[in-house]
Amino acid sequence: MESLLVRKGGPLKGTVKISGSKNSTLPIMAASLMCSGEVILTGVPDLEDIKVMSGALELLGARVKREQDVLVIDGSTIDSFELPEEFSRRMRASNLVMGALLSRFRQARVAYPGGCAIGTRPVDLHLKGFEKLGYTIKEEYGFMEGNGQPRGGKEILLDFPSVGATENIMMAATLLPGTTILRNAAREPEIVDLQNFLNRMGARIRGAGLDTIRIEGVQRLGGVEHAVIPDRIEAGTFMVAAAITRGELFIENVVLEHVQPIIAKLQEIGVEVIICSCGLKVVGNQKMKPTDIKTMPYPGFPTDMQPQFMALLSTVEGTSIMVETIFENRFMHVPELRRMGADIKVEGRVAIIKGRTDLEGATVEATDLRAGAALILAGLFAEGETRIQQLEHIDRGYENLHVKLKNVGADIVRGPWS
C-alpha cells in the first residue's frame, strides 16, 4: 500500500499550474450522454474519479477515448440505461447520469450512491425534482428507477441549494417540452460551466450562478468541444500550502472570481494575496492571526476547503472557530491532526482550534479527499516526518499533488512503504 512521506522543509517557492476542475468535468461527462454526437472535452484532469465516470459511461454503451488532457465521448452507441452499484458506491457523482438518461431516453435505473466519510449523502432532492418534472420514480432493491413521458413547464423549489440536485434536475429538464424554473438552485461555478456546455450543445438554459435557473426544453443536442474550468479547490489547496509554509507561490490557471471566498479568509488571517493578470501570488508570512470560518454554499466559504484551512489555523497562535454547515461528518481529519499535536476540540459541527507552532510529524490516515490534502499541508509544517496512508482518497481528486508540491520545494516522496 503506497504512502507519502512528508518532512518539514523551507517555505515553498515557485509557480503551480492548476488542473481542470474535477467537479465540473464529472457532471459534464454525464451530460455528454445527452447527445448522439461526439463531445470533445479539453483540460480534463487525470484523476481516479474521472476514470470511474469513464467506466460508467462505457458500461452504458458510450465510447470514451482519452489522449493526455483530452477526453472524447461518443454517446451515439448507448444501449443500456442501468448503472449498477459498483459505480454509484465508488463515486457518488455517477448518479448524475440519471438526469442525462431521463432527458434523452426517458428511462434510467441507477443504484443508490454510497455514503462516504463525510456524510450519508442522500439523494432525496434529486428524486423529488425528477418527480416534480413528471417522471415516475420508483425506489426498490437499492435502485432508483425513473421513466415516463413528462411535459416540462414546472416550477421546482429545492429545500437546500444542493450542487448535485441542481445539476441532475437541469439535465433532466433540458430535453423536455416546456420551460422549467428551478428555484433555490446551487450557484457554484461548476453549475455555470455545465450550463455553458449544455447551451453550446443546443440547450436553452439561463440563470446558472444565480439562485433561479430557467430551462427552456429543446428537441435534441449536438456534439461540441468544451474546455472545463480550472479547479478552484486545487487552487485553494496550493494557496494554503504557500501560507502554511510561510512561502510564496504563483498560482497559474485560476478564475479569480471562483476563489474570492478563499482569498478573503486568507487575507483575514494575514496572508498576502496579489492579483496578477494571469493568476495570483500568495505570500505567507510569519505573523498570522486566528479567524472564524463558517462553510456555506457558494459564494460562501467552500466546505471543500474546510480541512485545509483547519490545518493552517492549527499552526496560527490563538483560537479559531470552524463551523461546518454543509456535511454532518466532515471533521474526520481532526483525530489525525491531533496525532500531530494539533489542539482541536469538536462539539457537533463546531471545531475550536487553538493554534500552536510545535506540531510534530506522525503516521496519519487520509479519511477522505480533502482531509488527505489537509494532512499533507500539516506535514509540510510539522517537525520531523509525517507518513500519510490511504492515498486512494487523494488520488480521486488531485492530479500529481506530490509532484506539483515537490516542484516548488516540498520535501515529499511517494513510495510503496506499508
Nearer to ligand EPZ, 62 or 123 (CB): 123
In three-state secondary structure terms, 16 is strand
Looking at residues 320 to 349 of the shown chain, list those that interact with ligand EPZ (rule: CB under 6 A). Answer: 326-327
Q: Would you state the cell numbers that stand for residue 195, as one nine-digit string?
A: 450550463
Looking at residues 67 to 96 of the shown chain, list those that interact with ligand EPZ (rule: CB under 6 A). Answer: 92-93
Paired sense of beta strands 204-206 and 3-7, if any: unpaired
State which residue has the least CB distance to ligand EPZ: 164
Nearer to ligand EPZ, 83 or 316 (CB): 83
Give me the least distance between CB of 100 and ligand EPZ, in Å please.
14
Mask for 286-315, x = binds ligand EPZ (CB under 6 A):
-----------------xx-----------
- Catalytic residue status for 278: no
Interface segment toward ligand EPZ; rule CB under 6 A; list 31-39, 66-74, 155-163, 344-352: 155-163
Q: Would you state the cell numbers that stand for residue 74, as one nine-digit string?
A: 461518443
Nearer to ligand EPZ, 8 or 330 (CB): 330
In the chain, the N- to C-terminal Cα span, in Å, equals: 5
Nearer to ligand EPZ, 99 or 164 (CB): 164
* Residue written as grid cell 494539533: 342
Q: Would you state the cell numbers that stand for residue 314, as one nine-digit string?
A: 492549527
Q: How many helices (H) and strands (E) does the chain have?
A: 14, 24
Cα 363 from Cα 392, distance rounded (Å): 16
Contacts of 228 (CB under 8 A, 6+ apart): 20, 21, 24, 25, 28, 41, 42, 43, 44, 193
Among 175, 241, 369, 374, binds ligand EPZ (CB under 6 A): 369
Give me the least distance between CB of 253 and ligand EPZ, in Å please.
18
Mask for 389-418, x = binds ligand EPZ (CB under 6 A):
--------x---------------------
* Beta strand segments in 76-195, E: 82-83, 107-111, 136-140, 143-147, 155-157, 179-183
Among 63, 121, 214, 356, binds ligand EPZ (CB under 6 A): 121
261 is an interface residue for ligand EPZ by CB under 6 A: no
Q: Where are the alpha helices (DSSP H) in 175-300?
A: 189-200, 232-244, 260-269
Q: Which residues bind ligand EPZ (CB under 6 A)?
A: 22-23, 26, 92-93, 119, 121-126, 160, 162-165, 186, 303-304, 326-327, 369-370, 397
Question: Which residues form the catalytic set?
Answer: 116
